[in-house]
Amino acid sequence: MLVRIPQVLTPTEVAYCRERLEAAAWVDGKATAGEQSAKAKFNLQVPQDSAEGKELADLVLRALGRSALFATAALPLKVFPPLFNRYDVGMTFHAHVDNAIRPVPGTGQRIRTDVSSTLFLSAPEDYDGGELVIEDTYGTQEVKLGAGDLVVYPATSLHRVNPVTRGSRWASFFWTQSMVKDDGQRQFLYDLDMGIIALRQDLPDDHAGVLAMTAAYHNLLRRWVEM
């Protein structure tokens, strides 16, 4: 399931992120890559333990907390602290699959990476190339969104970032351990919730059909959620 979520960050928040990142010390992106991914990854990254990295990770997490669509699509149990990367001209990330388990620095905890997310911080007209290309059972999709927009997709997907040929592509990226680890079940719940929301725009909340679909949604959650 691939879901595009517009305006997770406001224009003011995007501008602040860009300002803080301009002052950051960028390092080789291989620092957080697994053995296989490190051979495919050619980009820059803000150190996770830097002042800018920690501050902006908290900003993104607060923004995610405002997003009802992110909650519906990812059904988050744990969110890995967001990271920040950039692709200058010639940089790319070849096809790879994200690590299944990631340790959360400084906590002694680990998360299972069910859902991958990319939050775009560069306007699409500011760079050429740099598309996020995601391959899964639904086919191949190229994603290049506006600054402040988010895409979420299964971490099981083979994906890559096309080479940047002009400008610079900046983004935040992170993973979510979902309460529902099976992507097919999450897709079903997402579609059902979207149907309920559409019905509630035309029917009262106490309509029998709305009540029945809402009950089905929550009863499926009870069956499939892992806490």
Detail the residues annotated as belonging to a binding site for Fe cation.
96, 98, 159
> Residues in the chain, how many?
227
- Alpha helices, DSSP H only, in 67-182? 68-74
CA 56 to chain centre: 15
The Cα 90–Cα 85 span in angstroms is 14
Residue 180, Ramachandran bin (φ over 0: left; ψ between -120 and 50: alpha; else beta): beta
Phi and psi, residue 134, nearest 5°: -120, 130
Bind-site residues for 2-oxoglutarate:
169
Quickly list H helices, 75-123: none
User: Residue 4 in 3-state DSSP?
Assistant: strand
Cα Rg of the chain, angstroms:
18
What are phi and psi for residue 197, nearest 5 degrees? -60, -40
Burial class (CB in 10 A: 0-12, 13-18, 19+), 219: exposed
User: In Å, how far from its chain's centre is CA 10?
Assistant: 16
Residues annotated in the binding site, as ranges?
96, 98, 159, 169
Question: Is 160:133 a contact under the CB 8 Å cutoff?
Answer: yes
